[in-house]
């Protein structure tokens, strides 16, 4: 009985401690900035081994493309171009610009882009095509071939331009090795003609963004958790120990103020270490449970099983609000790309299974103004009011699975039906 009482008391103490843990709700960038700030205020904290550039993540997990620099002047250039353009989602186009590498290429996978920007594939493609029409030509291409072809599309279609496009599509590798004979044979033209077409290619810019300055780091999502080979790993770049600066402890002083100061700073270090350990352990436990519970999703590409935050809280023995804070703005990186933890564990009061959420989406759309259909973001906001917190991307995915067109598609259907009356 006494043992049970002690365990219960320990659990209550843990609950109170974790409720006060402000670090729990921070995303990775906020966490590293917070630790760096504290280290400036506390000379006993040694963070040299912990606070590293997030570009190191890519060395082990093949996402080094997420640590590139953005072009501020290019972003401003695009912003001013968009002001006078009739484009639906200008903000999404500007967000795409932030994902370009130094040469103006968009090399991330569609899935990673959609996850990071919280948009669906259709919205992404529309934004990318809008970017293709802006200056300089070639921005947003995934490859050199696509970059050159985008620039040729701006030119008047002559026989030489047509042949140059054909050359780029079919013989770019041979051309790069000066295999003019092979190109000549493939295209059925003379080697002199190949050289003429090469001169057209040389007028194009293989690095359309290279003339813009690169000075601002882009804050990409950094995952807390890596799922690799059906196992959960904590991101080693983030989760390193907070060390104590022993040189400060070795300072001998008989002054009470100095001793009191050191003792106070030691308590702060201990509290920080405790908060970090709580954050690490809880996020790890959540990820381990999810990998086991959602095996079909992670390993076989199946659908997610229903799981609410309150159910997970009960299973892990913490408050629902603790789960909500722990998964806020936290990412998992796996074979599917980046996944928000909150997308896998929606918040709700009653039955928020996938089927139930889909029915609610269907109900919201059925009751919308048919002349002004709701956007995915507006549907997301309405669901939140009903206690269902899922991302805009998930709304788009569920709508697609229900064979419900997007807002523009529903508007088009309404117009077509009106004309047929």
Tell me 177's DSSP state.
T
Say how many CA atoms lie within 13 Å of 3 toward its Cβ.
Answer: 0
Residue 64: predicted pLDDT: 43
The tokens of 4 are what? 């049970």
Model's pTM, two decimal places? 0.47
Are the CB atoms for 150 and 204 separated by under 8 Å?
no
Cβ atoms within 10 Å of 222's Cβ, excluding its own: 22
Query: Cα–Cα distances in Å, from 92 out to 84, 130, 241, 377?
Result: 16, 10, 38, 13
**Residue 234 β-bridge partners:** 225
Strand (E) or helix (H) holding 234: strand 231-234
Can you tell me the distance from the alpha carbon of 67 to that of 3, in angstroms, rounded to the nearest whole number? Answer: 51
Q: Which two tokens stand for residue 182?
A: 């092979």
In the block, residue with structure tokens 């004979």: 181
How many Å apart are CA 184 and CA 171, to the nearest integer?
A: 10
pLDDT of residue 72: 43
Please give the Cα distance from 276 to 267 (Å, whole number): 14
Q: Comparing C-alpha atoms, which of 190, 200, 71, 75 is closest to residue 134?
A: 75
Distances (CA, A) of 31 to 23, 276, 283, 288, 331: 7, 9, 14, 22, 14
The runs of H, that is alpha helices, within 294-352 are: 295-300, 309-316, 320-327, 341-344
Structure tokens at 238: 């983030």
User: C-alpha 57: how far from its chain's center?
Assistant: 14
Residue 18 in tokens: 């974790």
Contact of 152 with 164, CB cutoff 8 Å:
yes
**Contact by Cβ (8 Å): 146, 204:** no
Query: Which distant-in-sequence residues (6+ apart) come within 8 Å of 226 by Cβ?
Result: 61, 232, 233, 234, 235, 332, 333, 334
Residue 103 CA to residue 83 CA, distance in Å, equals 24
| Ordered per-residue pLDDT tens for the chain, 421 residues | 443 444 454 445 455 556 667 888 888 878 877 777 777 777 766 655 554 444 444 444 444 443 333 334 688 778 777 865 777 788 899 899 989 888 899 998 888 898 888 889 999 999 999 999 888 899 999 999 999 999 999 888 899 999 999 999 999 888 888 888 888 999 999 988 998 998 899 889 898 987 775 544 444 578 899 998 889 998 877 777 776 666 665 555 556 676 777 777 778 878 888 888 889 999 999 999 999 888 888 887 776 777 888 888 888 888 888 898 889 888 888 877 778 888 788 665 445 556 678 888 988 998 888 888 888 888 988 888 877 777 787 888 788 878 888 777 776 554 544 554 5
pLDDT at 1: 43
Q: Are 393 and 122 in contact (CB under 8 A)?
A: no
Whole-number Cα distances in Å, 170 to 139, 158, 165, 193, 292: 22, 18, 9, 16, 47
* Contact in structure between 341 and 235 (CB atoms under 8 Å): no
- What sign does the dihedral 115-121-128-65 (CA atoms) show? positive
Rounded Cα distance between 333 and 226, Å, is 5
Name every residue whose Cβ is closer than 8 Å to that of residue 188 and which is 6 or more positions away in sequence: none
Distance, CA of 219 to CA of 31 (rounded, Å): 13
**Residue 97: how many other CB atoms lie within 10 Å:** 25
> Strand, coil or helix: what is 1?
coil
Tokens of 17: 């401690």
């Amino acid at each position: 009985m006494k043992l049970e009482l002690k365990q219960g008391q320990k659990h209550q103490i843990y609950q109170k401690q974790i409720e006060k843990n402000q670090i729990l709700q921070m995303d990775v960038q906020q966490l590293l900035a917070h630790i760096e700030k504290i280290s400036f205020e506390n000379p006993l904290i040694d963070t040299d081994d912990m606070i590293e550039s997030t570009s190191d993540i890519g060395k082990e997990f093949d996402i080094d493309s997420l640590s590139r620099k953005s072009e501020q002047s290019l972003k401003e250039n695009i912003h001013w171009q968009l002001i006078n353009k009739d484009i639906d989602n200008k903000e999404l186009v500007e967000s795409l610009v932030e994902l370009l590498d130094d040469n103006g290429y968009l090399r991330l996978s569609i899935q990673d882009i959609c996850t990071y920007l919280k948009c669906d594939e259709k919205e992404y493609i529309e934004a990318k095509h809008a970017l293709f029409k802006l200056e300089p030509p070639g921005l947003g291409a995934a490859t050199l071939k696509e970059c050159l072809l985008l620039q040729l599309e701006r030119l008047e279609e002559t026989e030489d331009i047509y042949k140059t496009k054909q050359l780029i599509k079919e013989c770019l590798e041979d051309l790069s090795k000066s295999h003019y004979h092979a190109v000549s044979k493939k295209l059925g033209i003379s080697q002199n003609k190949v050289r003429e077409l090469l001169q057209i290619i040389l007028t194009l810019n293989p690095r359309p963004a290279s003339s813009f300055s690169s000075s601002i780091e882009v804050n990409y999502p950094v995952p807390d958790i890596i799922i690799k080979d059906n196992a959960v790993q904590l991101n080693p770049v983030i989760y390193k120990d907070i060390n104590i600066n022993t040189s400060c402890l070795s300072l001998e002083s008989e002054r009470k103020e100095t001793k009191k100061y050191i003792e106070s700073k030691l308590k702060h270090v201990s509290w920080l270490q405790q908060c970090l350990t709580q954050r690490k352990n809880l996020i790890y436990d959540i990820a381990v449970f999810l990998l086991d519970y959602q095996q079909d999703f992670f390993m076989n590409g199946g659908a997610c099983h229903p799981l609410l935050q309150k159910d997970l809280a009960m299973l892990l023995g913490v408050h629902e609000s603790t789960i909500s804070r722990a998964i806020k703005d936290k990412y998992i990186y796996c074979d599917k790309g980046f996944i928000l933890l909150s997308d896998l564990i929606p918040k709700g009061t009653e039955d928020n299974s996938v089927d139930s959420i889909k029915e609610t989406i269907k109900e919201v759309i059925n009751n919308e103004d048919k002349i002004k259909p709701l956007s995915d973001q507006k549907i997301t906001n309405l669901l939140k009011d009903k206690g269902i917190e899922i991302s805009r991307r998930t709304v788009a995915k569920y709508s697609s699975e229900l064979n419900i067109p997007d807002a523009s598609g529903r508007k088009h259907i309404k117009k077509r039906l009106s004309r047929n009356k």
